[in-house]
């Protein structure tokens, strides 16, 4: 199959992209609004963007009805967010938090997870998440207009919390984290046995 992507309708572009770029890590992002109402939602358009300074990148799409998702509105309003990682035992709670709930709904309660006090931002983290990054907004880039347009959020990491059980010999124990990833459609991947490849010249 070959195609000029400009000839595809947007509803065909989405499954092509998310079915091809996978598995994607999941940022379970917690924020709060200016009144202190907490919000929690997952985003798999997510990666590391820089090490010095440490920056995480996630893209929040403009919804079909227009406007902004609550996460993006809160990040713009407060300049802060927390990225929580998602081990398999939290996958169902993470999925519950992705519904199109009204801004006044606190998805921590809905998903049945606790709030962990953050050290350097006001937004709480997910208590049960074994790893949390407290971030401040570096910049937000609008990649287009209207439904489906990405808003690339770059967040500088200010504080990292790693649970004791996920920290071994001075590094993150990825096996202990057992994080899930996002595939196309409704599918997720689980952490299977990893393998190593030595880089040329290393």
Ligand X SMILES: Cc1cc2nc3c(=O)[nH]c(=O)nc-3n(C[C@H](O)[C@H](O)[C@H](O)COP(=O)(O)O)c2cc1C
Residues that bind ligand X (CB under 6 A): 26, 39, 41-45, 59-61, 69-71, 95, 98-100, 182
Cβ at position 15, least distance to ligand X in Å: 14
CA distance 201 to 91: 38
Cβ at position 61, least distance to ligand X in Å: 4
Cβ at position 60, least distance to ligand X in Å: 4
Strand partners, 171: 168
Residues contacting residue 38 through CB under 8 Å, at least 6 positions apart: 30, 31, 32, 106, 107, 108, 115, 123, 124
Nearer to ligand X, 173 or 178 (CB): 178
CA distance 146 to 95: 25
Cβ at position 101, least distance to ligand X in Å: 6
Nearer to ligand X, 65 or 170 (CB): 65
Nearer to ligand X, 39 or 118 (CB): 39
Nearer to ligand X, 62 or 118 (CB): 62
CA distance 201 to 149: 40
Structure tokens at 64: 């079909």
């Amino acid at each position: 199959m070959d195609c000029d992507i400009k000839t595809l309708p947007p509803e065909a572009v989405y499954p092509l992209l998310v079915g091809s770029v996978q598995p994607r890590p999941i940022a379970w992002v917690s924020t709060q609004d200016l009144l202190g109402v907490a919000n929690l939602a997952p985003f798999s358009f997510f990666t590391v963007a820089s090490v010095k300074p440490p920056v995480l990148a996630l893209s929040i799409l403009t919804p079909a009805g227009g406007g902004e998702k609550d996460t993006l509105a809160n990040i713009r309003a407060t300049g802060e967010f927390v990225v929580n990682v998602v081990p398999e035992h939290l996958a169902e709670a993470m999925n519950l938090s992705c519904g199109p709930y009204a801004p006044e709904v606190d998805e921590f309660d809905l998903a049945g997870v606790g709030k962990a006090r953050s050290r350097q931002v006001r937004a709480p983290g997910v208590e049960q998440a074994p790893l949390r990054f407290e971030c401040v907004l570096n910049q937000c880039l609008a990649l287009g207009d209207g439904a489906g347009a990405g808003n690339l959020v770059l967040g500088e990491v200010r504080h990292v919390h790693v649970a004791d059980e996920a920290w071994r010999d001075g590094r993150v124990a990825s096996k202990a984290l057992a994080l899930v990833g996002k595939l196309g459609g409704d599918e997720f991947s689980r952490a299977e046995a990893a393998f190593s490849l030595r880089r040329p010249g290393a």
